[in-house]
Amino acid sequence: MPVVAAGALVALSMLPAAAAQANTGAAPAVGSAASLPNAALADRGSARACAGIAANRCLADIVTVAHGSLKPLATSTPVGYGPADFAAGYNLPAANVGPANTIAILDEGAFPTLESDLNTYRSQYGLPACTTANGCFKQVNEHGGAPLAAGTTTAQKQFDEEVGVETTLDVDMASAACPTCHILEITVNRDITTSEDQAAEDFGVAMNTAAALGASAASVSYQFDPDATLDLGAAARDFYHPGMAITASSGDGGYEGTPSGWPQNLPTVTSVGGTSLYRSATSANGYTDVAWAGSGSGCAAELPPALGQPTSVAALCAGHRADSDVSADADPNTGAAVYDDYAPASGQPNNWITVGGTSESSPFVAGLYARGGNLADVEGPNTLYSAPASAFNDVILGQNAAPNSGCGVLCTSGPGWDGPTGLGTPNGLSAF
Backbone angles phi, psi at 35, to 5 degrees: -150, 165
| Most confidently modeled range among 27-31, 39-43, 364-368 | 364-368
- Confidence grade of residue 33 (pLDDT, cut at 50, 70, 90): low
| Position 146 in a domain | yes
Alpha carbon 62 to its chain's center: 13
Report, in this order, helix, strand and coil percent for the chain, each rounded to 5. Answer: 25, 20, 50
Phi-psi region of 285 (alpha: psi -120 to 50; beta: other; left: phi over 0): alpha
Q: What is the pLDDT of residues 253-263, one digit of tens each?
A: 999 998 779 99
Q: How confident is the model at residue 429 (pLDDT cuts 50, 70, 90)?
A: very high
Q: What is the pLDDT of residue 21?
A: 36
Q: How confident is the model at residue 195 (pLDDT cuts 50, 70, 90)?
A: confident
Contact 169, 335 (CB under 8 A): no
- Find, among 307, 314, 333, the residue nearest to 410 by Cα: 314
Instruction: State residue 213's pLDDT score.
Output: 98
Confidence check: pLDDT of 9 > 80 = no
**Long-range interactions of 190-196: CB distance < 8 A, separation 24+:** 190/108, 190/109, 190/110, 190/148, 190/151, 190/156, 190/159, 190/160, 190/163, 191/108, 192/53, 192/155, 192/156, 192/159, 196/56, 196/57, 196/224, 196/225
Tell me the per-residue pLDDT of 218-241, one tens digit each, with 9 for 90 and over: 999 999 999 999 999 999 999 999
pLDDT of 5 reads 34
Q: What is the CATH number of the domain that holds 219?
A: 3.40.50.200
Q: Is residue 278 part of a domain?
A: yes
Helix (H) or strand (E) holding 270: strand 270-280
**Which position has the higher pLDDT, 75 or 260?**
75
Note every long-range contact of 208-211, with CB atoms under 8 Å and residues 24 or more positions apart, other chains counting.
208/238, 208/241, 209/140, 209/142, 209/143, 209/144, 210/104, 210/106, 210/184, 210/186, 210/241, 210/244, 211/241, 211/244
Coil, strand or helix: which one is 60?
A: coil
1 within domain boundaries:
no
pLDDT tens readout for residues 41-52: 999 999 999 988
For 100-132, write each residue's pLDDT tens digit: 999 999 999 999 999 999 999 999 999 999 999
**What band does 30 get if pLDDT is binned at 50, 70 and 90?**
very low
Q: Does residue 4 have a pLDDT over 80?
A: no
Query: Mean per-residue pLDDT for 18-42?
Result: 58
More confident residue, 191 or 96: 96
Does residue 116 fall inside a structural domain?
yes
- Over residues 364-388, mean pLDDT: 98
| Domain span at 91 | 6-426
420 inside domain: yes
Name the pairing type of β-strands 270-280 and 245-249: parallel
**Residue 7 CA: distances (Å) to CA of 129, 289, 341:** 40, 14, 41
User: Whole-number mean pLDDT of the chain?
Assistant: 92
Confirm whether 77 is domain-assigned.
yes
The CA–CA distances, whole Å, from 191 to 143, 296, 325 equal 15, 24, 29
pLDDT of res. 15:
32
Q: At what angle do helices 114-124 and 154-177 cross, to 10 degrees?
A: 30
Output the CA torsion 417→422→427→431 (10° steps).
Answer: 90
What percent of the chain has pLDDT above 90? 87
Q: Find the mean pLDDT for residues 18-28.
A: 36
Residue 432 covered by a domain: no
Q: What is the mean pLDDT of residues 175-200?
A: 94
359 prior amide bond cis, ω within 30: no
pLDDT given for residue 328 in this prediction: 98
Is residue 17 pLDDT above 50, yes or no?
A: no
Burial 345-382 (b: 16+ CB within 10 A, else e): beeeebbbbbbbbbbbbbbbbbbbbbbbbebeebbbbb
Give the integer Cα–Cα distance in Å for 29 and 26: 9
Q: How many other C-beta atoms lie within 10 A of the C-beta of residue 143?
A: 14
CB 316 within 8 Å of CB 274: no
- Total structural domains in the chain? 1
Q: Determine, yes or no, domain membership for 93.
A: yes
